[in-house]
Amino acid sequence: MFFERPESGEIAVLVHIDFHDSDDNHGPEEFVELALSAGADPVAVVTGSRQRPDSRFFVGTGKLDEIKDIVIREEAQVVLFDHALSPSQERNLESVLNCRVLDRTGLILDIFAQRARTHEGKLQVELAQLQHMSTRLIRGWTHLERQKGGIGMRGPGETQLETDRRLLRERIKSIQKRLAKVNSQRDQSRRARSRSDVPTVSLVGYTNAGKSTLFNRATGADVYAADQLFATLDPTLRRLDLEQVGTIVLADTVGFIRKLPHRLVKAFQATLKESAESDLLLHVVDAADVNRDENIADVDIVLEEIGANELPILKVFNKIDAMPTGEPRIDRDEHGNPVRVWVSARDGVGIDLLEQAIAELLSEDVVKETIVVPVEQGRFRAMLFEQGGVKNETYNELGQSVLELCLPRKDYLQILARVGMSEEQVQAA
């Protein structure tokens, strides 16, 4: 296997095992990308197959000897497993291999720690790391592990291991309180947007599907985007004006991945809630990826886990520039509603079709009419402007305002009620 090796990084040996009774057997290609994203320098990928994991070493003794030979030959500093290891398996492997051993969860946590930029993102990653670490405390302080009796033999009131656990618990509680405060602030922002009837559209999808590039292309933002796994962790919100709908909020969120650690999903609940409470989800898919169907299924699993699987979803098949016959288009269902849009975020191709599809899906309950407002109904006209529902204004030969409207029907009906009018009393242009 060819590796695009980084200029520097820890020398790593990768281990990927297929299990006969598992439906979740994938190749090691994605795991190699994960290792490279973490800054590792992978020198070998050890593969194999088993009926089930070994309780002591996860792999069999023959495979363990093979890994050890490679570690010694390559002078590897870390062995990465594309699986979840138990704390005892990690310790047993480290004692035999004489180097650090990290499982898939630990590797993803390390990548998240490198990518987090905001205060909230760093807190979320630290929480997940501490929760993961709390199950892996090693009894290194053996001289303090037991309280001994007799004069001069009495140990401290609590062992070092208990002290470490207590400090971890206190730190976890502290972070959870701070994240609860951040979550409360996000809830306030969501409620404010809900009161003003500004629709929220969230980008979700498999990591490295091009969400941030699409976000930048649509909003003109400058969110970090790179061809690597988990380039973006921290949620970013930007306003976007659509001609047929008005102002919406577009949210860029963390990417998903196969076997995303449950602790990370839980730690990022505040961030993922942005997706769960959106009016529309844009599921961004790497259209050129040979595993795109599997990736779609993995994202659906995470959406179900965060309670967002019942929301309206528009699939955005991105990276058509990498396909031999990729053309921008909108695919519709039997009722004529958009279900898929094919675009290239990198080249900006099909973005107009994406905006059209979003507008169609969000404008089902939007008033888009042109009305005539007589001079004596100046209060009605003023309130429509205050609500931001007037897209254009002209005047007819009688000097009356001719307003081109685009606003949520709920807001329109509220304005009519406040001025004591009905929809039938409004004069159409």
pLDDT of residue 1 exceeding 50, the answer is: no
What is the DSSP secondary structure assignment for residue 320, as one 8-state letter? G
pLDDT in tens, 353-408: 998 889 888 876 677 788 999 888 889 999 888 877 788 899 988 888 999 887 77
Q: Which residues are annotated as a binding site?
A: 205-212, 230-234, 252-255, 318-321, 344-346
Q: Which of 334, 338, 335, 318 is nearest to 326 (CA)?
A: 318
Beta strands 280-286 and 200-205 are: parallel
Which CATH number applies to 366-428: 2.70.220, 3.40.1350, 3.40.50, 3.30.70? 3.30.70
Domain boundaries for CATH 3.40.50.300 within the chain: 198-363
158: confidence class by pLDDT, cuts 50, 70, 90: low
Please give the Cα distance from 76 to 70 (Å, whole number). Answer: 8
282: confidence class by pLDDT, cuts 50, 70, 90: very high
Domain boundaries for CATH 3.40.50.11060 within the chain: 11-102
Write down the mean pLDDT value for the chain: 79
Rg (CA), the chain: 28
Q: Name the amino acid, one letter, at 418.
A: R
pLDDT in tens, 162-179: 777 778 888 888 888 887
* Phi, psi torsion values for 297, nearest 5 degrees: -65, -40
pLDDT in tens, 65-83: 999 999 999 999 999 998 8
pLDDT in tens, 105-152: 888 888 877 777 667 777 777 887 887 777 766 544 444 444 444 444
Q: Which residues are annotated as a binding site for Mg(2+)?
A: 212, 232
- What's the longest Cα–Cα distance across the chain? 107
Q: Which of 38, 29, 42, 80 is nearest to 58 (CA)?
A: 80
pLDDT in tens, 195-218: 556 788 888 888 888 888 898 888
Homologous superfamily (CATH) of 198-363 is: P-loop containing nucleotide triphosphate hydrolases (3.40.50.300)
In terms of pTM, does the model score above 0.85? no
The whole-number average pLDDT for the span 259-277 is: 66
pLDDT of residue 72: 93
Q: Which of 319, 313, 292, 121 is nearest to 214 (CA)?
A: 319
Domain boundaries for CATH 3.30.70 within the chain: 366-428
pLDDT in tens, 84-98: 888 889 889 999 999
pLDDT in tens, 337-347: 889 999 999 89
Q: Which residue has the higher pLDDT, 306 or 339?
A: 339
pLDDT of residue 9: 58
CATH code for 11-102?
A: 3.40.50.11060
**Strand (E) or helix (H) holding 286:** strand 280-286
pLDDT in tens, 46-70: 998 888 889 999 999 999 999 999 9
Q: Which residues are annotated as a binding site for GTP?
A: 205-212, 230-234, 252-255, 318-321, 344-346
pLDDT of residue 144: 43
Q: What is the Cα 359 distance to its own chain's centre? A: 23
Q: 32-66 burial, b for 16+ CB within 10 Å, e for fewer?
A: bbbbbbbebbbbbbbeeebeebeeebbbeeebbeb
